[in-house]
């Protein structure tokens, strides 16, 4: 019984649950990016090149009939899009953190040195 309770405590720790949620969201985001590339980007931007090669999808590009470099290009485009979107997300998060840090800038009272100078001046009088 001790081992089961230890496992339950381990599995329910915040880090493990957060990681599981991150993996699930990442998988869903991967599907969104794949759909964006296959269903939106490829038809719009790569259509002339694919038509010239008599192909419908970038994944079908091959060299010498066996080297499927289209799959590599698709993965590369996926990576660039994911990296760029993550960059924008992190940039937005950092900008919001800077705004939060800058907002509570209340006017500070006198510094310790100023207080000591005031005390010194009062003692001189």
In-domain check, residue 14: yes
Task: Tell me the mean pLDDT per 10 residues along the chain, length 125.
Answer: 80 76 86 80 75 76 80 82 82 83 67 88 88
Q: Is the pTM of this model over 0.95?
A: no
In sequence order, the 6+-apart residues with CB closer than 8 A to the CB of 70 are 55, 57, 58, 59, 60, 61, 62
Residue 85 lies in a domain: yes
Within-domain flag for 7: yes
Q: Please report whether residue 77 resides in a domain.
A: yes
Query: What's residue 57's pLDDT?
Result: 75
What was the pLDDT predicted at 114? 86
pLDDT for 105 equals: 59
User: Is there a contact between 70 and 62 (Cβ–Cβ < 8 Å)?
Assistant: yes
Question: Residue 9 sits in which domain range?
Answer: 2-104
Residue 112 included in any domain: no
For residue 80, give the CATH number of its domain.
1.10.1200
Return the pLDDT at 106: 63
């Amino acid at each position: 019984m001790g081992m089961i309770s230890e496992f339950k405590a381990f599995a329910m720790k915040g880090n493990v649950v957060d990681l599981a949620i991150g993996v699930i969201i990442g998988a869903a985001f991967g599907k969104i990016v794949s759909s964006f590339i296959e269903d939106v980007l490829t038809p719009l931007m790569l259509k002339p090149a694919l038509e010239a090669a008599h192909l419908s999808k970038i994944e079908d590009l091959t060299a010498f009939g066996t080297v499927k470099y289209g799959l590599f290009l698709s993965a590369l485009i996926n990576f660039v899009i994911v990296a760029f979107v993550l960059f924008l997300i992190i940039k937005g998060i950092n900008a919001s953190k800077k705004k939060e840090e800058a907002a509570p800038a209340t006017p500070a009272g006198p510094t310790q040195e100023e207080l000591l100078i005031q005390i010194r001046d009062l003692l001189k009088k």
